[in-house]
Amino acid sequence: MNLTITKDDFEKAVPSAREPSGSIFAVMEDAIQNELSYLESQVLGDIGAQAVENGALAYPALVQTVKRLACVRAFMGEMRSLDLVLTNTGFGVVSTNDTAPASKQRVDALDGQLRRQERLLLGTLLDRLFQVPGWNTQPQRRWHVETLIYKIQQLEEFAGINRPEAADWDGALLKILAADAFLRRHIGNAYMDELVEKLTCNRLDEWDAPVVRYLQQDIGACIAGNALLREEIYSRMIQHMERDLTHYPTYADGEGYRLNHAKTNNYIYENHAEDSAFHFVG
């Protein structure tokens, strides 16, 4: 992928590395190119990379997000090997024997900030890629968007975590997957896959969009450990779909609908012991 990143691009992405001489950027250039190669193979794929290369007019926001993410990842990976010093304008490289390196506490704080920024930028990048025709047909989509909760920003929106950190995302992953597995049993794998596919190519219609919102809220309530809220959201979602099943044929013809109606034609929220991760009884 042919994409030029300048000193100005780097310092806009990592303001703490801004300094007049350009010494930090000079050290980082190879690492930035390595991160661009990583993003091309692991996130963009051939279709996304082509959109970036040709995207100055069609996808300017996508291009800028790729640049920023490559710079943040590069600096995050290399900064501990640099002799950093805290200056009035940010961090610089130690250049004399009289200048002491920045403290470990300062560098750790910067590392945490960069890791959060990396997660935020990755979420933004995925959203931008949803607008690129064909991107979601590549394996990179499945690597990064397995469920309807796929970015750190959603922890604040749906789980009530204020300014989530990278550690919050890592800690939420098992709960996200567990909630997704439960919901797949109750709306069907086929319908969940259909919703993820439509989300990742920007094709959610007026009928599916509310269901996606309910599902995201349900997963968020699971992350927050709010069983009562989960039950209410789930109930509203099922009622919403079953008011007019003609708009939800994949659900109506699937195993989720049959499971929900195995005992009664009314809504059931089953609370089996094996589902303890999903419905907590206080």
The mean of the pLDDT values for the chain is 87
Instruction: Output 247 or 24, whichever has higher pLDDT.
Output: 247
Q: Where are the domains of the chain?
A: 7-137, 153-275
Tell which wins on pLDDT, 67 or 97.
67
- pLDDT given for residue 280 in this prediction: 40
In this model, does residue 220 exceed pLDDT 70?
A: yes
Judged by average pLDDT, the poorest of 31-45, 77-91, 127-141, 175-189 is: 77-91
Q: State the Cα–Cα distance between residues 23 and 174, nearest whole angstrom.
A: 42
For tokens 């009664």, name the residue. 264
**How many whole angstroms separate alpha carbon 161 and alpha carbon 219?**
13
Identify the three-state secondary structure at position 6.
coil
State the pLDDT at residue 49: 97
pLDDT digit string, tens, across residues 187-210? 999 999 999 999 999 999 999 999
Ranges 88-92, 131-135, 168-172, 187-191: which has the least confidence: 88-92
d(CA 67, CA 62) in angstroms, rounded, equals 9
Identify the pLDDT of residue 263.
61
Asked if residues 234 and 216 have their Cβ atoms less than 8 Å apart, the reply is: no
DSSP 202: T
Query: Is a pLDDT exceeding 50 seen at residue 94?
Result: no
What confidence tens digit (pLDDT) does each residue in 167-180 have? 999 999 999 999 99
pLDDT digits (tens, 9 = 90+) for 3-18: 999 999 999 999 878 7
The arithmetic mean of pLDDT across residues 241-251, rounded, is 96
Q: What is the mean pLDDT of residues 258-273?
A: 61
Give the position of tokens 């300017």. 60
pLDDT score, position 10: 94
Secondary structure element (H or E) that encloses residue 93, with its range: strand 91-93
What is the number of other CB atoms lying within 10 angstroms of the CB of residue 265?
8
Give me the DSSP letters along 131-183: TSTTGGGSHHHHHH-SSS--STHHHHHHH--SS--HHHHHHHHHHHHHHHHHH
